[in-house]
Structure 1
Amino acid sequence: MLGILGLDELTERVYRELIHLGPSSVEALALRLSLDRDRVHRSVQMLEAKALASRNAVGQVQTAPPQLALGALLTAQRHALGQAELTAAALAEAYHSASTRSMHDLVEVAVGADQVRQRFEHIQLSAETELLALVQSTPEVVEPGQSFAEEEAVRRGVHYRVVIERPMLEEPGAMESVLGEVLGPERIRVVESVSTRVLIADRGTVMLPLTESPQVAEREGRRLDEVGEPMALVSRAPGLVTAMLGLFEYVWQRAVPVRLADDGLDAASADSAPTTLDLRILSLLLVGSTDAAIAKQLGLGLRTVQRRVAHMMELAGVTTRLQLGWQAHERGWLS
């Protein structure tokens, strides 16, 4: 019963016997309890240490009034328990703080257009070797070609691979204004649509949107105030990065290459091989653009586009545009 106060079973028996007997010698206690004298002596020493017993003038062991002595021990025990609770709370807070710091090292949420734009730029500026991106035609915060960090990253030799949605190429001059001459070293491919925007730096950091763009909400008939402010997830968690790398590579393998470079060759020259202009026309043709859309995009006449397509079909030895696409792939014209 008194174990919570630090008394073992034997010492409690000695204490109870002392209360009933009154002042006694160690020998009398041992005889009364049928115990070894040394064992009783050790129990008496424990009682004395806890101020539950003391020696009188003639050397006998006597107890202090239990209400006072035990009350003092209980008060001390309550204080110790209170201190232990405070220590436990402090340790729990320290553990939570450490866990939060560890989690923050892996996951960060950028809230608001300014923070999202800042993190987008910072990731590109921090990249050392490679940046991979899936880009939607309805940007939420950063317009295509408007990132100053992009130019800086390319200047430092960072290699880009970017998949864009085909509607991005529908406006006149989009090949230059949207993608920009600065992106020469990067490779661009086109698909009809991508499920989400993704930015991956050095295969170790990923940025994902947590909200949809206002354009998407408007297209689906929802009010703009239902969208909320832009938010993005920035994570270095290996599992998430691996998953996004898998998504990117899946989309990349199924996308169509786009030829951006312009070597200045005249459209009517180089009869033995496709010119750069031919390859740009072919790029747009393979992503589903019509002849009229290609002409508008590249600032050419419709008949010029049709003539260049016919020229490529002749070079490839085919009679249909479907066959042209296959031969272009086999010959590596857009690789």
Structure 2
Amino acid sequence: MLAAIGLDEAHESAYRALVTVGAADVPDLARRLTLGEYDTERALRRLERHGLAAQSSSRPGRWVAAPPGVALGALLTQQRHELEKAELAAALLAEEYRAAATEPAVHDLVEVVIGAAAVAQRFLQLQLGATHEVCALVTGNPVAVSALENVAEEQAARRGVQYRVVVEQAVLDLPDGITELTAALSRDEEVRVIETVPTKLVVADRSLAMVPLTSRTAEPAALVVHASGLLELLSGLFESVWREALPLRLTASGIAEARAGGPDGTDLEVLSLLLAGLTDASVAKQLGLGLRTVQRRVKRLMELTGVTTRLQLGWHAYARGWVARD
């Protein structure tokens, strides 16, 4: 318990024993600690340097314990002071890092990653570092990273990271394609399908992207793009493909299929309750849904109607006859 102030288990045991008896000579304390007298005296000398023990002035050879409230309080105060200095140093370093990152050098805006193992590792790191959203375009011919062997995806989803994924139709024909996509949908990921995607791509938190590099060699390579105009271009590419793709949903038999169309029965119930003035949390409770599920359904309806606010969504819902006016 006293390791935080620089005492190991042996020295803490010596101090506790000395506190218990109040005062003791080296042989007596050695018996209590089941240590040799040499080791016991070394421990007492260490305690003396920390101000936790002292030799008795009235009885030579006897050691007395310093009052814990005073001695340990002083050590804790010193430790807090050292921690405050360390926190200040960390804050200054963080500020220097932010200042340097504000104007990154051109050569720091991209990284070139070469080799299948290196590309796979960087791909996993990118997802594990995400805190908000991961967007991805997935092809049916993985080279370095298989979309169906992406262990980081499940971990990130459990942390609350939202996934928006567009897969090309060839992915559905892979041996485990439907199974893995069904698992993704069960994790509340948004998945869409399109005939072909222009390139493999993953964008994390709109601050980092990864895209493959074409090469004549057999060795895979990828480009990691940091905040820049190129990153904005790649994010825009994803959004354009996302708008064109069809949502992938589960049928009643549990099979994933891509289809367009209006809202389902649950969507209409969500809309009705929202228009009645209930909050997202109240709607989720009323319908036995998760809060994220309700929010995801509202977001899909907004995309379906091409609106940007919930007020506009309500107007379109009435205009299209999705909810009754009474």
Normalising by the smaller structure, the TM-score range is 0.3 to 0.5
Greater relative contact order structure (CA < 8 Å, 6+ sep): 1
* Structure of greater Rg: 1
How does the TM-score come out when normalised to structure 2? 0.45
